[in-house]
Structure 1
């Protein structure tokens, strides 16, 4: 196990040598919170990151989320990306503990997928929040679990954790306020130490597969290049009134696989290749969360979600 802390501007000017001398090997710094108001951009972030690098500590940047819908998630994502763009964290975190309703796995995955090109992503939450607002699709990314006063953390449906925040009452001489204390597993440590490799352009391969299906089943005549240009969009518009309940095709299977990856469809709950009732309901739930008309019709506005998000 590797010891580390997480900090924010509430800790004032942090002497990273004190952090290191206290036995820490990594520090995770708050970068942003929401998109407006006090703390939306942490005034100590850049200073903390620079000083941590000089001290030889592994570094992380985290965003404290407020979002509960897609519009807010996208604005928070942009705030985060803009603010950290001149830094090089070894890991990057979505801190999810805000008040919201229902399962928001899709929103969290969209945030994490969009930051995955920067550094190793993690999802941070406590056991209750994990069970209430996330499903197993989030296991795509390592877990940073906050669970205090226990001998081992409650990790819900995960089969392991990357970081365990075991106390929020740590104190280090010379550092203002309480400091959160953490353990990192050797597995995650080795992952961030060995040189992070961003994921392959999965979205491009998905679009190539869709274009192939459009050609084979609907004679679309598309170039299978993985770019959803005007011809691909025209082909999708052309089948808008064809994909209705009961329709069977590999394009429907492509949609089902996307919905399953987003957490809207559960494995085994639907009939493959058929636009059945579970698939229809999953599409309407997706449309609702993304602010689209909730009628299950696959218009371009709905296709744009699939084509722009892994």
Structure 2
């Protein structure tokens, strides 16, 4: 998920780290246009990435929702995104289902539409009628997100502070279900298991941090295991790398590490303690060392 705040970014790098889709901001409210939108979508298409356009909502009424939907449509449509998103996180009051539905009905004439929301907003402002459209849920620091009204998610934003080697600043990182991926017109098969994408990201980071020279394929083979064995005595307290950040994001996902409780990329005390808690829960030696048995947890869950 990228927007003007990320500036001009390398879409090639996003693909090289194993990500197979990109969502770019197009508009906000009734006047703001993201100047990077068209370029981001064009680059994603050129690289074969599934791509989506999102609108950051400011509306609080149905009439304003209609106005914003038509504004978004006028800006987003020409780039022909594979899907479109209503980013609904605006402070409001009362049930907003009708306003959100009318927005989605208008923009769904561009491409398949879904709504982005967090569990607390779903509970506060929406009712079951909204499930006509798929859910992109934002839920951090959990092993599985709450979808509230929906039986499952189309997409899950699992962190707002992701980092990718070679790109400055934070990125929102997401999983996309295989069912949704295949429903938006791509012929490329995909496995819904997010571990594939996580392992690709780890392999890319091993190459960047330690010159591991791995093929970024999401497969835990002999070379990947050898690379992990080779760094088990390197990742100690005080060590800093993108691989450490990958570990921290996994620990957040499992619930052993709380957001903002640690220094990103640094194997600090909170990260060390979270690793030992993970090891204890899985019946491993609580050394805090990233040995093969500990990596096995990360690579299979």
Normalising by structure 1, we get a TM-score of: 0.59
Among candidates 11, 31, 45, match of residue 16 of structure 1? 11
Among candidates 147, 150, 162, match of residue 139 of structure 2? 147
1:237-257: CA deviation from partner (whole Å, max 9, x where unpaired):
xxxxxxxxxxxxxxxxxxxxx
Residue 119 (structure 1) aligns with = 111
Identify which of structures 1 and 2 has the higher relative contact order when contacts are C-alpha pairs closer than 8 Å and 6+ apart.
Answer: 1
Residue 31 (structure 1) aligns with = 26
Equivalents in 1 of 2:46, 2:84: separation in Å?
19
Equivalents in 2 of 1:172, 1:194: separation in Å?
25
Equivalents in 2 of 1:194, 1:141: separation in Å?
19
Alignment of 1:60 onto 2:52 = yes
User: Secondary structure of 2:33's partner?
Assistant: coil
Equivalents in 1 of 2:121, 2:162: separation in Å?
23
Q: What number of residue pairs does the alignment pair up? A: 187
Q: Where does 1:123-134 land on structure 2 (aligned, <5 Å)? A: 123-134=115-126
Contact persistence 2:83–2:111 (CA under 8 A) = yes
Equivalents in 1 of 2:101, 2:168: separation in Å?
34
Equivalents in 2 of 1:189, 1:85: separation in Å?
20
Alignment of 1:72 onto 2:72 = no
Residue 97 (structure 1) aligns with = 89
Structure 1: gaps spanning 5 or more residues = 1-5, 196-310
Equivalents in 1 of 2:73, 2:110: separation in Å?
9
Residue 194 of structure 1, CA deviation: 4.7
Structure 2: gaps spanning 5 or more residues = 188-301
1:170-224: CA deviation from partner (whole Å, max 9, x where unpaired):
11122231001100111101101358xxxxxxxxxxxxxxxxxxxxxxxxxxxxx
1:61-83: CA deviation from partner (whole Å, max 9, x where unpaired):
00000101122112211210111
User: Secondary structure of 1:169's partner?
Assistant: strand
Among candidates 43, 46, 70, match of residue 51 of structure 1? 43
Contact persistence 2:113–2:133 (CA under 8 A) = yes
User: Secondary structure of 1:160's partner?
Assistant: coil
1:146-170: CA deviation from partner (whole Å, max 9, x where unpaired):
0000000011121111000001111
Equivalents in 2 of 1:42, 1:102: separation in Å?
29
Structure 1 runs of 4+ aligned residues shifted over 4 Å read: none
